[in-house]
Amino acid sequence: MANFHPLLRRASLLAAILAIAGCGSVSTLQAPQVTTSSIVEAKAVPPQSAFKVVKATVIQLLPDDNVGLTHQNFKVRAITPNEGRVYEVNNSTTHGSKVPNLKVGDVLEIRGTTYQNKDKYGLHWTHKADKAGDAGYIKTADGKIYE
């Protein structure tokens, strides 16, 4: 390459880089489908101390998450603790039970882990135990427990 003009040398190098970069089909690259619940679910099992019990009123029913690990989603307003705080509940129906006939206005006792993402609060891990000590649940006003 000693006899090549510097611009030709650069052009040849650029062509080689582009040829190598072009190997393989772009159509084989696909972005994975990622939802909020799958990100949270992928985290390690939380310690027992991370679980909290929140008594709250259902204020909004959200669409279920039916991609990957499935979840029943809804929003609640805390009665105790943190009165007035709104939580999005991500109740795993892959690992636990869906609360049937859930309605706005229902009062629930929810045991799970709380998380905060910017100004959004959430309750997760509301299902039966994967191992001893990590069980969450949702208890309805009539005393039925869904885990």
In the chain, domain spans: 37-146
- Confidence at 129, pLDDT banded by 50, 70, 90: confident
| pLDDT of residue 3 exceeding 70 | no
- SS3 for 94-120 is CCCCCCCCCCCCCEEEEEEEEEEECCE
pLDDT at residue number 73:
98
Mean pLDDT of the chain: 80
Q: Which CATH superfamily is domain 37-146 in?
A: Nucleic acid-binding proteins (2.40.50.140)
